[in-house]
């Protein structure tokens, strides 16, 4: 993962770029992850990107669920449900 590297991506006729960061991880952890991911992901960066997106998506989903429960509780308190 190189600092400042850009990858072009097209969307609706616009040319978008994605900037990348360099992340330092323990070598033994990286080796274990690469062994574990053998054949599942193209490389360690692809695996980490996938996992980070999943964590963010799951957290957003949990927030949505918590908000929905709060709204339902408030509607109950007001006598609507």
CA-to-CA separations, 9 to 17, 35, 43, 81, in angstroms, rounded: 6, 30, 20, 47
CA-derived radius of gyration, the chain: 20
Strand partners, 16: 9
Instruction: Convert the pLDDT of each residue in 52-74 to its tens digit.
Output: 888 888 877 777 777 888 888 88
pTM of the predicted model, to two decimals?
Answer: 0.52
Residue 44: helix, strand or coil by DSSP? Answer: helix
- What lies within 8 Å, CB to CB, of 42 at 6+ separation is none
Instruction: Convert the pLDDT of each residue in 13-60 to its tens digit.
Output: 566 788 988 989 999 999 998 888 888 888 889 989 998 888 888 877
Instruction: Enter the DSSP assignment of 41.
Output: S
Other residues' Cβ atoms within 10 Å of the Cβ of residue 42: 9
């Amino acid at each position: 993962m190189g600092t400042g590297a850009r990858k072009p991506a097209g969307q609706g006729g616009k040319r978008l770029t994605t900037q990348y960061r360099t992340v330092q991880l323990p070598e033994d952890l990286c080796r274990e992850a690469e062994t574990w991911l053998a054949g599942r992901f193209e490389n360690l960066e692809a695996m980490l990107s996938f996992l980070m997106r999943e964590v963010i998506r799951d957290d957003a989903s949990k927030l949505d669920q918590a908000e929905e429960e709060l709204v339902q509780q408030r509607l109950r308190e007001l006598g609507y449900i």
